[in-house]
Amino acid sequence: MVCSRLTSRRSNSLLLAVCFGLSASAALAQDVVKFGAPLPLTGPLAPEAIKQQQGYDLWAEQANKAGGISVGGKKYKVEIVYADYQSNTPRAVQTTEQMITQNNVNFLFSPFGSGAAKAGSSVSEKYKVPTIASTASSAQVYDQGYKYLFGTFTPNDTLTTPLTQIVKAKAPDVKKVAILARNDLFPLAIAQEMEKSAKANGLEVVYFEKYAINTLDHSATLSQIKSLAPQWIFVTGYINDLLLVRKQMSDQQIKAGVLSMIAGPAYQEFIDAAGASGENTTSAAWWHPAAQYSGKDIFGTTANYVKLFRDKYKSDPDYAQASASVSGALFQMAIERAGSLDRDKVRDELARMNVMTFFGPVKFGPNGQIDSLEPPVFQLQGGKPVVLSPALIKQGEFRLGVN
């Protein structure tokens, strides 16, 4: 049985759901490992949360089909406890604590995004609960000296630097860059890395501005950008933000040689909604289904993971879904290597992890952030993402010009 669909309550109470048909009585009758997954299943971040839920569910389903997680000669079923924190970071912190103190989860997946992951990590560190953040890349998440937090996204500059180098090499006439960033931890942090990358490569940043969360009109800002005539426009935010910016760019007939958006173009929802206006938009992400890795995790090869995802969800996985799945797989490997559910032993196994997975090579640095991946840079061409780098999975060449 798969996880029931979650909806939010009108009150501030948290809605919890147990996945894979493990009722409360059944959970008492068998050995289980409980994972807490606080997610923004309603509110503006809901599209991203659904992706994470899909990734976690696919891993749990595969783990349970194989009999569960092996712990000291016994098999433990995977149980995931979800809670909707309604795209509200303070509520994400409350949810995280409730999962530990009331729902008695063994281990945690972080709330969505760098901002909420950083906030929630203070709770999991307090209770010494090993936690994997599957959607947090900003350095500010990992500079706290925490020992129980691990992340599957490399630092933000691993996206902006190769993107900038490609543009510089392929479009030498691009000299001026305008940057527009959602005023939120991850989008702002990656915009700041873009600014550094641009300046380091001899480009002039003629505009850098932040927009507030839940902004519904960018027309004045875009008009100002248009007046500066940048050859490269770089925008950060989440799916709904970026679709709105792209629409209003079209309304004002703003054109540039290069348009980059992070992280929307990595999602099929963005590609479908943007249509022709998304053509030639560049972006970068931490994983792409074109990768060809042969892993030691439960999924094995990248191709097998993609097949399982397609069979279950009838679509191709993106980096957010794959990161959620590999987070579960990493927990599984760490628990099995520890031969125990002891949190400190599992934490130590995560800290020494150095393994190939369907997601790529995974090794966590001293601060808990992965330092072993080379994220793909891609461009939407013909309505599909085409990988431009790294060379190992390259699919095509960079194209100049945006509709």
Q: What is the 3-state secondary structure (H, E, C) of the chain?
A: CCCCCCCCCCCCCCCEEECCCCCHHHHHHCCEEEEEEEECCCCCCHHHHHHHHHHHHHHHHHHHHCCCEEECCEEEEEEEEEEECCCCHHHHHHHHHHHHHCCCCCEEECCCHHHHHHHHHHHHHHCCCCEEECCCCCHHHHCCCCCCEEECCCCCHHHHHHHHHHHHHHCCCCCEEEEEEECCHHHHHHHHHHHHHHHHCCCEEEEEEEECCCCCCCHHHHHHHHHHCCCEEEEECCHHHHHHHHHHHHHCCCCCCEEEEECHHHCHHHHHHHHHHHCCCEEECCCCCCCCCECCCCCCEHHHHHHHHHHHHCCCCCHHHHHHHHHHHHHHHHHHHHCCCCHHHHHHHHHCCEEEECCEEEEECCCCEECCCCCCEEEEECCEEEEEECHHHCCCCCCCCCC
List per-residue pLDDT tens for the chain, 403 residues long. Answer: 334 333 333 334 334 444 443 433 333 336 999 999 999 999 999 999 999 999 999 999 999 999 999 998 999 999 999 999 999 999 999 999 999 999 999 999 999 999 999 999 999 999 999 999 999 999 999 999 999 999 999 999 999 999 999 999 999 999 999 999 999 999 999 999 999 999 999 999 999 999 999 999 999 999 999 999 999 999 999 999 999 999 999 999 998 999 999 989 988 899 999 999 999 999 999 999 988 899 999 999 999 999 999 999 999 999 999 999 999 999 999 999 999 999 999 999 999 999 999 999 999 999 999 999 999 999 999 999 999 999 988 999 999 987 6
For position 403, what pLDDT does the model report? Answer: 65
| Threshold 0.75, pTM exceeds | yes
Identical fold for domains 16-154+289-363 and 157-285+376-393, yes or no, is yes
| Token pair 């934490």: residue | 347
CATH class of 157-285+376-393: alpha beta
Backbone phi and psi for residue 387, each to the nearest 5 degrees, phi listed first? -75, 130
CATH topology for 16-154+289-363 is Rossmann fold (3.40.50)
> What does residue 223 show for φ and ψ, rounded to 5 degrees?
-60, -40
Cis before 46 (ω within 30): no
Domain ranges of the chain: 16-154+289-363, 157-285+376-393
